Chain A
């Protein structure tokens, strides 16, 4: 006869715990699925990933962000945003090749996903539709009055 691994009380406990974890995970996933809107910074980062292509890793992204916008961004903030975008499913990443100026360490290259592309497109379409409704005259006036 096989030895019972757990005393009877324990099995019950474990089943209960597994159930609870499953419920917890479900809520977590559902919660994440809802969040598809893009923030301003997130949108720029997504676009930069597309622009940089093979070179889209945290350090380069931060450099590029500074070059394009003239604003300073720490590597950490860029990294954390890309991490968040990955959990949202807009980016995927894999480790690239090691190089000497990184002390022989590999870099994590990010690529945009189909849903990332879609989110960008949605965002652009939304803004375009807003622009289309914008009265042309008053736009010129603002420009000139500056």
Chain B
């Protein structure tokens, strides 16, 4: 058998070996190989061949060993100078480049700051990784619902049975606005009653007082800002205040206000849980009787060091189930921990399973930011390659006198670096200008951390990455020209380069069109939901909280006096404002109720005038009335409830409310049209309304429609202040409260609108530059065509059709992308507008129109030019 040197090794060698060395080296290696075959074995010879090949991996033997030749500083100075002159020579292209890139960078940086802020939510609290809220899953009619309202004894249960897992467990009520009074100052401030360990658990920064400031039941700690308002410069410690004109407390601590990206933001005071427990009769009852059935409280825990959150979450699963009665066990309550790190970003649930939340928008906008930046980079790449033919001679001559490819690449990269630097400066200016506006939009206090070293490191990395991203293609492409072809003048931009340019334009427009479609659909969804039938009159009513002790028994007095002034038409009191449901009940039963069906009805207790105040529409039966004494045992239900109960004619039906001996019987006296009380994006829940005098939290006033609202409000304020001087009069318009529910969706709508606009502007800048370039290149051709009789329209068609085609292709690609993304987004809403084909048509036509206008400027400009001028130009 004839032995030959290993072909693979030879191939590898030829990959890197300088061509002029090939003959001698291959010869030497062959000689060595045959000599080894003679003296030793074939295998040894082959192995030795490989060894020799590897030993040729030496600098002197490499191809293009000078590809990245060290270039002296002088060359870089020269590159910068040439780059600068090139920028000045092509002012139009340069400004398109720089502006496009700067806008892209500004958007990417703004989004970056926003994303960073969102991701750092809660980091103000040092132990954030070990803090969690206890939550539960319950099975309700085949659906699993999530709740954070838990019974009081669970706190003690967790500590006693699972004590080694927890560092501390605290009970808390819900954040509420109560009246804080000191001397003659009365003001409403948001706060909460929480276990005394709250200071350590959330590492609140105590400015005055220590971490044991809440151990005494009669104490309170207040935020720095509240202390400033109430006590001005004097020392708040030891001062006596009143909560809600009822509870006497002494200030024992002042804590620093939590920043906006903390769950404690805006929490002005914290009073001890013990105070709440002892002062409220129903809470005291619940605590003293170890009542596992009153689920009205929140429980926060911090887990012990070195235990795993998921493991603890798994261990406490049955802690509630083991203690509740059979009826509650039927709901299969399952506890779990919701870590603090997830509170803000991951708190959306679907059928008991976490399904993202805000994090989806963080990711979405992060992607959009990167996309917009890429759009800016694409302009740079496109215009540079488009200009390549102009610069081909320069490249040719540089190569002819000995420039290495590496040197040319560094030249073009230097130029792109120059452009990126200028863009960065411009981007910083843009950011400084729009920052207040952006902050207003996203409701944050973002700022550019100029004094932060890591910010500059990131910026530098950002600049380098962008310069490489934007400059890589031109650098590789331009440096690959063959000098002879270029200098001979036979050079034409290769088909692949043209194709690449087209692909980039298609990418730009796909992104833009998809963003436009997205914006339209989000807007439509908002409009559609805003037009949703309310079932009551949302305009002309105001709401005010009436849960303070001062309101007790004053309702009739207020109503009579206000009605006599003529400022209002009607007013009523209820357990929750018409825009919210505070209470849900499941302990309802009626004749013919399916045994497996667990009702989950919203409940609002009202005074008899409620219906007239909010203007609900009674479809069957009658409204509440003061004239019927029996109406205290009457119910009004909404249509949805009637449907759920399966009653065709519910009037007169009896309903049992409660499961034990305290159960009461109610008669349905009326059915109303569904009212939009909760989220306008969700399905309407079944509701019951009952008359009651206790548990009243809110007053609704219907202003006189024919009088000026501001005058009426003045009168109302006077009357309130006269009768309830201890409570500052504070109100909200119902339509504004309703409007707030759209805030987060509207924010998305606005942001996506802005991004879509920017994307289309950047893309248009790009094709504007391309169009002007194409028109300029074909000046002579256009001149000749005109001489031969082409019309302006023909020439316009010729120049514009290429771009229109590209936009058409982008449109076709964008449709499915947008459709699937937005369908998924709309999935999250119960009440939604289906995507209609006209949206796509609108976006497509819009993009087409904008493209035509952009391209036409140059097309018509060159088509209208005198052919003589263009033909004479040289």
Contact = CB atoms under 8 A, between A and B. Distances in A.
Contacts of A57: 24, 28
A97 to B, nearest CB: 11
B89 A9 contact: yes
A88 B78 CA distance: 32
Nearest to B5: A103
B56 A79 contact: yes
Given A57-B24, A74-B52, A20 B31 contact: no
A102 B31 contact: yes
A63 B52 CA distance: 13
Interface in A87-103: 95, 98, 101-103
A16 B397 CA distance: 13
B425 interface: no
Nearest to B4: A103
B32 A106 contact: no
Contacts of A59: 27-29, 31-32
Contacts of B57: 76
Given A103-B26, A106-B24, A18 B52 contact: no
Interface in B30-87: 30-32, 34-35, 51-52, 55-58, 60-61, 72, 74-75, 78, 82, 85
Contact of B52 (A13, A23, A75): A75
A75 B24 contact: no
Nearest to B59: A80
A16 B75 CA distance: 10
B348 interface: no
Given A6-B393, A14-B401, A17-B78, A76 B27 contact: no
Interface in B813-836: none
Contacts of A14: 397-398, 401
Interface centre among A6, A16, A23, A105, by most chain B C-beta atoms within 10 angstroms, is A105
Interface residues of A, number: 34
A108 B403 CA distance: 29
B512 to A, nearest CB: 36
Interface string A96-139: 00100111011110000000000000000000000000000000
A97 B61 CA distance: 22
B61 A79 contact: yes
B27 A103 contact: yes
A144 interface: no
A27 to B, nearest CB: 9
Nearest to B53: A76
Contact of B402 (A16, A21, A76, A98): A21
A67 B394 CA distance: 55
Contact of A77 (B26, B28, B55, B403): B55
Contacts of A77: 55, 58
Nearest to A103: B30
A84 B393 contact: no
A80 B60 contact: yes
A105 B35 CA distance: 16
A79 B17 CA distance: 13
A105 B24 contact: yes
B331 interface: no
Contact of A75 (B29, B34, B85): B29
A135 B74 CA distance: 55
B304 interface: no
A129 B476 CA distance: 58
A50 to B, nearest CB: 20
Given A13-B82, A79-B61, A107-B28, A6 B74 contact: no
Contacts of A9: 85, 89
Contacts of A75: 25, 28-29, 32, 52, 55-56
Main secondary structure of the interface of A (DSSP, over half): helix
B23 interface: yes
B401 A18 contact: yes
Nearest to A19: B74
B55 A105 contact: no
A94 B35 CA distance: 24
A61 to B, nearest CB: 9
A59 B26 CA distance: 10
B28 A80 contact: no
A58 B27 CA distance: 10
Contacts of A63: 35
A62 B32 CA distance: 10
Nearest to B72: A24
A10 interface: yes
B13 to A, nearest CB: 10
Given A9-B89, A106-B24, A21 B401 contact: yes
B248 to A, nearest CB: 86
A42 interface: no
B23 A106 contact: yes
A106 B27 contact: yes
B397 A10 contact: yes
Contact of B61 (A13, A17, A20, A76): A76
Interface in B392-425: 393-394, 397-398, 401-403
Contacts of B89: 9
Contact of B26 (A16, A21, A105): A105
A15 to B, nearest CB: 10
Contacts of A95: 23-24
A113 B526 CA distance: 89
Contact of A10 (B23, B58, B60, B394): B394
A6 B397 contact: yes
Given A74-B52, A80-B58, A84-B60, A13 B32 contact: no
B23 A105 contact: yes
A83 interface: yes
Contacts of A79: 25, 28, 56, 60-61
Contacts of A24: 72
A66 B52 CA distance: 14
7 contacts: A16-B78, A20-B78, A21-B401, A74-B55, A101-B31, A102-B30, A105-B26
The 8 lowest CB-CB distance pairs between A and B, nearest first, are: A105-B27, A74-B55, A76-B55, A102-B27, A59-B28, A76-B56, A108-B24, A80-B58
Interface of A: 6, 9-10, 13-14, 16-18, 20-21, 23-24, 57-59, 62-63, 74-77, 79-80, 83-84, 95, 98, 101-103, 105-108
Given A20-B74, A101-B31, A101-B34, 15 more contacts: A14-B398, A21-B402, A75-B29, A75-B52, A76-B52, A79-B56, A95-B23, A95-B24, A98-B27, A102-B26, A102-B27, A102-B28, A103-B30, A105-B24, A105-B27
